[in-house]
Amino acid sequence: MIRSRFGTLGMFAMPTKAKKAQRRATSRPKHTETRKAVATKPPGGRVVACLRYRDAPAAIEWLGNAFGFKPHLVVPGENGTIAHAQLTLGSGMIMLGSARDDEFGRLMTHPDETGGRETQCAYVIVRDADAHYARAKAAGATIIVDIKDEDYGGRSYTCRDPEGHIWNFGTYDPWKAS
């Protein structure tokens, strides 16, 4: 059971209809013709992308050189592997480890085992997309969507790291969108 401001909840329980209606009535804007994005972050969890690499030590170094990630915590494993690593970029974080045949590892596959396709990828907000693009390209990132202005705002590009994982970097910040 989970305790929250709505009382005790089951794993996927939602607040009662009356409480939802009360919140909607007090938070609904007077004019609904044009709604603007709210510039505040909602309460709740944070999302941290998790990846597995065949050569995690090399990936940690490359991700730092190409994208600017900094090691926050690196836990070495056996035989030169990485049991767990946390890398930060600004206030964001990713976690990674060496590919291995364990409970979690058997749930994952590498891009080269799926024809280069991914079912999800990270979007990382950067201050200067053009400078980031130049840095990533100089470090050997494979650019798969060239840098461009997006219709919804911001400037972004998409690339692959040396093991084929897809990364999106851009200036569009959905928390600050208007």
Residue 96 and residue 53 in contact, taking contact as beta carbons nearer than 8 Å: yes
- Residue keyed to tokens 């013709």: 33
Here the tokens at position 22 are 């009360």
Q: Are 133 and 169 in contact (CB under 8 A)?
A: yes
Check if the beta carbon of residue 98 is closer than 8 Å to that of residue 82.
yes
Q: Residue 141 half-sphere exposure, CB side, CA atoms within 13 Å?
A: 29
Q: What is the pLDDT along the chain (178 residues), one digit of tens a residue?
A: 333 333 333 333 334 444 444 444 444 333 333 334 445 555 677 889 999 999 999 999 999 999 999 999 999 999 999 999 999 999 999 999 999 999 998 999 999 999 999 888 999 999 999 999 999 999 999 999 999 999 999 999 999 999 999 999 999 999 887 6
Domain boundaries, the chain: 49-170
Query: Contact 88/46 with Cβ under 8 angstroms?
Result: no
CATH class of 49-170: alpha beta
